Copies of this chain bind each other. A is one copy, B any other.
Amino acid sequence: MMVRISEIEINPQRLEEYKAILKREAEASVRLEPGVIAIFPMFQRDNPAQVRILEIYSDQQAYQSHLKTEHFLKYKTATLHMVKSLKLVDMDALDMEAATRIFVKLKSHPF
């Protein structure tokens, strides 16, 4: 299992455009790639240009394969000039089983 938080700063004038592209990319990745467990994008409420993405891959190979997909390359190319900074921070989960409990509870909450 590979867990990461990507810390991304977006040009505020391009934020809405960026969000639309990221939403499509995240959805396609989780739907089409068995090894992409989660791509869960968030925005700081006080500074929405500060994006954080929780990413979970089944292993390093799944991540390497993700980087070569058409939907990722399309996202990367389309957003390159909107991104002011990008930091990929590899994480260790304290308790991976906790993640499964999270999503049991999410299922019972309508959005």
A residues bordering B, Cβ < 8 Å?
1, 3, 5, 19, 22-23, 26-27, 30-31, 34, 36-46, 48, 52, 54, 56, 58, 89-107, 109, 111
Contact = CB atoms under 8 A, between A and B. Distances in A.
Nearest to A91: B42
A2 B41 CA distance: 14
A100 B102 CA distance: 9
Contacts of A45: 89-92
A109 B1 contact: yes
Contacts of A91: 42-45, 52
A88 B101 CA distance: 23
23 contacts: A1-B111, A3-B42, A19-B94, A27-B98, A30-B101, A30-B105, A34-B105, A37-B109, A38-B98, A38-B102, A38-B106, A39-B98, A40-B93, A40-B98, A40-B99, A41-B93, A41-B94, A43-B94, A44-B89, A45-B92, A52-B91, A99-B102, A100-B107
